[in-house]
Chain A
Amino acid sequence: MLLLRASLRAGTTFVLMLVALMLVTFLIGKAAPIDPVLKVVGDRATPEVYQAAKVEMGLDRPLYEQFVRYVWRAAQGDLGQSTSTGRPVVQDLALYFPATIELATFGLLLGVLFGVPLGILAAHKHNQWIDQLLRIVCLFGYSVPVFWLGLVGLLVFYAKLGWVAGPGRLDDVYQFTLETWSNFVLIDAWRAGNMEALRNALSHLALPSVLLGYFSLAYISRMTRAFFLEELGKEYVLAARVKGASEFHVLVRHVLPNVAAPLFTVISLSYAVLLEGAVLTETVFSWPGLGSYITGALFSADTSAVLGGTLLIGVCFVVLNSLTDLISYLADPRARA
């Protein structure tokens, strides 16, 4: 009963949060000085055609009515029609979000795999040359424009060395021969048993995900370092050292569990940010992901698409947050108290 009430309360908060998110996005969209009808009928339509399209899009209705109608339909799973692709937003999201998930997941895996150990290393070698070197590497990751790094990456690894495949998700030979089932290229290739296509997809994925991985590495490793430094001064660390525990043992067995909860939060937030889609990375790599979809929609005042995309990202944030809470709860005895 208690559990039921708690989850009911959580559910209500969740829904209210989404509605608020939609309202803000909706109002921002309406405030933009762009006429959404233009994308549908073009710049030269006669006043009659223009008016007909406006009515069809429901834009002649009062603002509150437009919003209520949108929310009502969204609750039934209909996110409306995108004016920039001419298709239902749900279909668009089903097409573009998997592309982003693939990229974000690999990016995050790299970020965690390298970021956490490097962060620990930097904390361990605090203020020694290796810490300084890692600081520079991370600063570079923060400050270099991603499109520049992406283009240079393509130039070196794709054009000059030929180690990885170029822009796009698949080579043309596979693009239209592979049956699309989930829109996750990796899953579709695996499902079709087409190992050539799978290899090709991984090769296309390598460079952009390394790039995104680098950026999340920069963040994750800096945060890891900070968490560790804070713990390393505490008494239990001293106690462990006095007892003769090896440094590795101290870091991994004693400190790591204590910083696990905030570290999970950092990692899950990094993942959520990656799931929003990285517009510039997607542009440079011709990656048809969520970021470029929402940006493109924003530029043509495609309200349904922007709202649909924002809603999806909102859901991602909430779900990831809840998962983090759950993991922290399980990992940290103090949270259970």
Chain B
Amino acid sequence: MKLKPYAALLGAIISFGAAAATPKDTLVVAKNIEDIVALDPAQAFEFSSGEMVSNMYEPLVQYDPRDPTKVVPGVAASWKIAADGKSLEFALRPNAVFASGNPVRAEDVVFSFRRVIKLNKAPAFILAQLGWTNDSIAQMVTKLPNGNVSVAWTGVFGPGYVLNVLAARPGNIVDEKLVMANEQAGDLGNAWLNRNSAGSGPFVLKQFRPKEALLLEANKRAAEPPKLNGVLFRNVTEPATQRLLIEQGDVDIARDLGPDQIAALRTRTDLRVEDFPQAVVHFISLNQKSEKLRNPAVWEAMRYLVDYDSIAKQLLRGQMRVHQAFLPVGFAGALTTTPYKLDPDRAKAILTQAGITNLEIDLDLINTPRFMDMAQSIQATMAKAGIKLNLLPGTGAQVITRYRARQHQAMLLFWGPDFFDPHSNAKAFAYNVDNSDAAFQSTTTWRNSWLVPELSAKAMDALKESNPARRATLYQALQQEVQAKSPIIVTFQEQNQAAFRSNVKGYIQGSVADLIKYEGVTK
């Protein structure tokens, strides 16, 4: 008798029938969006925010998501190189309007670029490469009498490189009138743009609740309005939870699934799994501040002590591909040869010949399952040639803090390009002319204290080359040199895997976050 109220309560809980399908006109995406700090194109520098920005804004020119070595029109309909070869003239798309209804004017372009330089947030350096400073930008980006925009640069590179820079995230054009109407305390609308959008892209930001959800709504005024009314991103950090949600049909796409979830979902007929190679290369690097890691024999031996195939096929099952050069597949000039395989005997011979014994190395790594799995495998194979690896796992921020300060010995990490040009990676892996602690650089070379004046000169030659075919050849040679002899052992290229409800069509995911497009999605 006494149990009656409990039974009633239990009954009440049980009677909530659940299993709701997703709304018909909105795409629901399960994704970890906790990395988002900023949504202002002049500040956004995280993976998730790149994806959002590229769906809300348009740059002058943009990468073709299906072939990012091609640049296609954005807000600009056409462009031509000026006679001096040091500036480009852009004609804007006639009738282009922002989501607010304001027309896209040459003034907006000038304002947007000036804003990035003036605010000087994380991604500003990408545009600043063009020689733009607070003082010079007014002369270098101007509205021409014919209503076109002239963009000038200083530096050795050609217009192809400049177009790649302008297509990068901070090159997105914002609506000056709307942004300035929402300026607070001289912030050029920065605070407001982190919670709202002011672009001409296919979507507008409807609502953002950090760590909970983000809703994009179709921009009916876009050049090509999206097929669906909106995209809802639900912050789901646990991969197993993402799997349950997509199996139940409570989300249409699950974006952060591990190898276990992917393997289970592949067997289902109502779902589809797709692979997307990413422009992210993984590597082991050896800090040259450490005396014992300076011997090239160590570099070479370690290249034979990674079980590339097993890690890619059995451990990470499709989330990595074996790749051993610093330009990822998809970049012009990417080197696809993989000359190194696991060969402990050969490694042992190399070490013996160089007289190296009892090598003990600390390896820093991020403490997520994927890095832990890789590191444990590498630890086991290194031991076969007598190299003792001590694993030092830490949180992402912790590991990066040590890496920036060059306090590590060996590092297991990854690198994605800042923008879609081979120079972004060439600079990171083959350029370092000042190794002093004061000359702080974010490059893999500097962070591992690897000084390479000769390689650097070759990297600059490749940057200057304006013939695309010759440029690609130069980068291939550069990659071969780094692959054969460097303290940076490139091991894998990352591959994203996502699961879709089978009715979802038209999703495009390129090799970087900015190339994820939702406007063509139907369901």
Contact = CB atoms under 8 A, between A and B. Distances in A.
A202 B17 CA distance: 11
B94 to A, nearest CB: 35
Interface in A83-138: 83-87, 92, 95-96, 113-114, 117
B397 A172 contact: no
B210 A33 contact: no
B440 interface: yes
Nearest to B210: A85
A202 B16 contact: yes
B371 interface: no
A293 B402 CA distance: 24
A294 to B, nearest CB: 12
A285 interface: yes
A52 B241 CA distance: 40
Interface string A58-84: 000000000000000000000000011
Contact of A40 (B16, B37, B394): B37
A187 to B, nearest CB: 17
B146 interface: no
Contacts of A162: 17-19
Nearest to B123: A42
A38 B398 CA distance: 10
A164 interface: yes
B241 A167 contact: yes
A292 B241 contact: no
Contacts of B247: 159
B13 interface: yes
A41 B6 CA distance: 53
A242 B383 CA distance: 76
Interface string B215-254: 1000000000000000010111110110011011010000
B276 interface: no
B355 to A, nearest CB: 36
Contact of B34 (A40, A200, A296): A296
B346 interface: no
A95 B213 CA distance: 12
Interface string A9-50: 000000000000000000000001111001111111111111
Contacts of B23: 172-173
A114 B6 contact: yes
Contact of B244 (A42, A87, A96, A155): A155
B418 A154 contact: no
Nearest to B194: A86
Interface residues of A, number: 65
Interface in B158-186: none
B453 interface: no
Given A42-B45, A206-B16, A285-B241, A299 B395 contact: yes
Contacts of B18: 158, 162-166, 203
B185 to A, nearest CB: 13
Given A166-B244, A175-B213, A210-B13, A301 B397 contact: yes
B121 A163 contact: no
Contact of A292 (B26, B37, B211, B245): B211
A50 to B, nearest CB: 8
Majority secondary structure of chain A interface residues (helix, strand, loop or mixed): helix
Nearest to B217: A176
B261 to A, nearest CB: 12
Contacts of A210: 13
Interface in B6-20: 6, 9, 13-14, 16-20
Contact of A172 (B22, B45, B401): B22
B120 A199 contact: no
B38 interface: yes
B397 A171 contact: no
A150 to B, nearest CB: 9
A321 interface: no
B20 A163 contact: no
Contacts of B19: 162
Contacts of A203: 16, 18
Contacts of A288: 209, 211-212, 235
B125 interface: yes
Given A47-B440, A113-B6, A286-B236, A38 B401 contact: yes
A299 B237 CA distance: 15
Q: Which of A52, A96, A166, A169 has the most CB of B within 10 A?
A: A166
B244 A159 contact: yes
13 contacts: A35-B401, A41-B45, A41-B121, A41-B122, A47-B440, A49-B125, A86-B194, A87-B210, A96-B211, A167-B244, A172-B26, A172-B232, A173-B23
Interface of A: 32-35, 38-50, 52, 83-87, 92, 95-96, 113-114, 117, 147, 151, 154-155, 158-159, 162-169, 171-173, 175-176, 199-200, 202-203, 206, 210, 283-286, 288, 292-293, 296, 299-301
Given A35-B404, A210-B13, A292-B211, 19 more contacts: A33-B398, A42-B45, A42-B46, A45-B122, A46-B124, A46-B125, A46-B128, A84-B34, A87-B210, A95-B212, A113-B9, A158-B244, A159-B247, A159-B248, A172-B26, A176-B207, A200-B16, A202-B13, A292-B237
